Amino acid sequence: MPTIDEVIKQSFNPFDNFAARNFWKEQEPPPTVESIHQKQLTQIKSVLAEVVQHHQTRTIILYGDGGSGKTYFLGQLKQQLNNQAFFVYVEPFPQSDHIWRHILRDTVDSLVNAPEGQLDSQLILWLKSCLSTIRKGLKSDQQRLVDTIKSFFGKTDAVRDRQLFIDILKKTIGTTGIYNANEFFGILCDLTNPNLYSLACEWLKGDDLDEESLTKLRVKQSIDDEDKARGILGNFSILSAKTQPIVLCFDQLDSIARLADGSTIDLQALFNVNSAIYNGNWNSFLIIFSMRTETWNDDCKRVKPSDLDRADIRISLKRITLEEAEALLITRLYPLHSEANPKPNSRIYPLNQRVLEKAFPSRKAIPRTVLMLGKHLFQDYKEWLFQDKQPPVPRWIEGGTLPPPPPPPPDKIQAEFELMWRQEYQKVQGKIAKITLLTAPDLIRMLEQVLAALQVKGIKTKLITGKYASYSLSYQQPGKREQVGVVWTEDSNMKSFFSVMSACEKAINNHLCQSLQLIRATDLGKSSLAGYKIYQKIFIGTNHRHIKPTLSSVHYLATYHSLVNSVEAHELVIVGKTITLQELETLIRDSKILQHCLLLRELGIVSGSIKVPEPDKPDLQAVKDYLLNLVITQAFIGRAKLIQNTNGQFTEVDKSDLETIINQLRHENKINIVNPQAKLEDQTVCLVVKT
């Protein structure tokens, strides 16, 4: 086995998030830092235990400095309490007047995911658990009825007496406080049927379904306003008293809707929801509001005192101790140490305890700062190794002054951003399998953010008026004076489509825009329908256009939106620096990543030639860009590690193609091989620095 220094010379910086780890090769599981924020975790466990026992909803304010690990902490909470509650992650809401529908949608979206170690979704587990609890409280003859409806689960050929299901729930749970009991209990029955499960989930989260789908579900209408959404959420709370609590986690609150004057976030809207839940005596919810300490201190003053009183549990994520900081470093360095023989004397080698004492004389630290220090010093040590440990020796190794991080070159900043973009884009691809998983207001908000980043002028929201105003915006066409309107609707309900088309016609007649772009991938309905006739009048043979968006276009918008949320929460770090929104916008323009978004090209926002990959063939240019970006961020990296990581990202690419790409980059004088005479597995790739 190689020495630890030999491993370091070949490895990725373990404090980056771009290097794939091979868990199969690790002899034992990597260590974790269970002590970090353990007191706060114990406190929340205690509150959850009270909710379980008394079924009374409780609200927690969780706050901490930027980089204190709030989002990571929520993840740990979910992992540790996975079998005690159902977890819901609520994204920042874009509009205060849609807040209940937003919460309902994210609640159902979270519940349709299966928890770790389970095959069923949280939603099915929630329903099964509820029925089991009901059964235990019944007489033996009634228990058989509950057993009958429990036998429905997962069987497409089961003889379902839907009315029996509804009647049993009405008798055992009652209808007091249940919003629209017949329809709601009927939808719960549909969840047991694999043929109707997806459709029932779409109804529950508020999709505006067409008449055919509503007929299949035997419901009259979709959940299309705030009162209905609040009613369905209230139903969830009542039934949750029969099973485990639901934990609602509101994270990244710096990105929620702002007040009308744009001065600050609308935190009051969130506390209005919280107070409505308490005033309605909702059961078995644990609500967690997670935000930065600065945000909490500034904006809580604008919340009504009576609303603040209902969120009486305040938990602060404190700075970690020096011992915990060391343990955090150990978790990142462990995979490298496991490859080395002999093992280094220090578990944080090449760092040491004196470094931590110098960096944090108060013996307290923010986790992100610890990781940023580790990244900087690891890279400093690695580059010194490539100088064959020639003087001068880095002072920090012997307990001297810590060097300030050198200003990163622009190409390294851009390379790290592009790697981060790809990582986030892949997450979005896995999460958004179809466009209709997002609401029209969400899609318009994402488009608005991208237009702002590309310095499009004259952006105005709510071009059309009425109920569907949030489905629209307008902007000034780049290079022209004309105002372009955009309306995005994917609602399958033709009555809604008619209303949107009528609003479009009104906007055109009132000269609110010179051209109108309808974005819609969903079908337009039958030609005999009134909505379709208005559509034809507006978009056929005129200067107005209908654009059918691709799923990949939505992935581009959603990826940028996710990065914006991270920036506003002060969580996006690139080359050791927490970047601002202005810096993110500059990076996205300089990278030209959005030139590949087909929707933006059709809108005329971006232009320029792009190479379209051949069908069923890997995009080798994207592979080449990715591989070069890895070398730029690392400066030195083992050839085998470089190929392994790139192959992990592009599994469809042969290793022979990767070798060809490496040789191309060498011929282009962008990279070099430090030791070309060594075996391939021992060779090191380095970046050619332009002078």
pLDDT digits (tens, 9 = 90+) for 461-471: 999 999 999 99
Residues 335-363: tens digit of each pLDDT:
999 999 999 999 999 999 999 999 999 99
Q: How confident is the model at residue 249 (pLDDT cuts 50, 70, 90)?
A: very high
pLDDT at 20: 40
Tell me, yes or no, whether 154 and 267 share the same domain.
yes
Lookup result for tokens 């309808």: 518
Q: How confident is the model at residue 208 (pLDDT cuts 50, 70, 90)?
A: very high
Of 571, 589, 610, the last residue of a domain is 610
C-alpha 30/C-alpha 14 separation (Å) is: 13
Q: Which residue has the higher pLDDT, 59 or 27?
A: 59
Averaged pLDDT for residues 286-292: 95
Residues 163-175: tens digit of each pLDDT:
888 888 888 888 8
List the 313-317 sheet strands across, edge first. 86-90, 246-250, 285-292, 58-64, 313-317
- Whether 245 contacts 285, CB under 8 Å: yes
Dihedrals phi, psi of 89, to nearest 5 degrees? -105, 120
> Is 39 among the domain residues?
no
> Is 42 among the domain residues?
no
Tell me, yes or no, whether 389 and 290 share the same domain.
no
> Is 432 among the domain residues?
yes
* Element spanning 515, H or E: strand 515-519
Tell me, yes or no, whether 187 and 205 share the same domain.
yes
Mean pLDDT of the residues in the chain? 90
Tell me, yes or no, whether 186 and 301 share the same domain.
yes
- Whether 50 contacts 58, CB under 8 Å: yes
| Token code pair at residue 155 | 């069987």
Tell me, yes or no, whether 132 and 87 share the same domain.
yes
Tell me, yes or no, whether 604 and 637 share the same domain.
no
> Is 196 among the domain residues?
yes
Considering the chain, what percentage of its residues have pLDDT values greater than 70? 94
Of 342, 368, 398, the last residue of a domain is 398
Answer whether residue 460 shows pLDDT above 80.
yes
Q: How many domains does the chain have?
A: 4
CATH number at residue 681: 1.10.10.10
Dihedrals phi, psi of 553, to nearest 5 degrees? -60, -40
Residues 416-452: tens digit of each pLDDT:
999 999 999 999 999 999 999 999 999 999 999 999 9
Averaged pLDDT for residues 221-245: 93
Answer whether residue 638 shows pLDDT above 60.
yes
> Is 513 among the domain residues?
yes
pLDDT at 575: 92
Tell me, yes or no, whether 214 and 109 share the same domain.
yes
> Is 421 among the domain residues?
yes
Residue from 74, 168, 80 nearest 130 by CA: 168
Tell me, yes or no, whether 384 and 484 share the same domain.
no
Q: Please tell me whether the peptide bond between 615 and the residue prior to it is cis, using omega within 30 degrees of 0.
A: no
Q: How many degrees, rounded to 5, is the angle at CA 434 between CA 428 and CA 438?
A: 75
> Is 675 among the domain residues?
yes
- Single-letter residue type at 532: Y
> Is 35 among the domain residues?
no
Tell me, yes or no, whether 512 and 581 share the same domain.
yes
Residue from 289, 296, 280, 297 nearest 235 by CA: 280
pLDDT at 261: 85
Tell me, yes or no, whether 482 and 572 share the same domain.
yes
Tell me, yes or no, whether 310 and 332 share the same domain.
no
Residues 129-141: tens digit of each pLDDT:
887 877 776 666 6
3-state secondary structure of 376: helix
Answer whether residue 25 shows pLDDT above 60.
no
Of 580, 610, 640, the last residue of a domain is 610
Tell me, yes or no, whether 471 and 362 share the same domain.
no
Residues 570-622: tens digit of each pLDDT:
999 999 899 999 999 999 999 999 999 999 999 999 987 776 666 667 889 99
What's the domain range around 214?
55-317
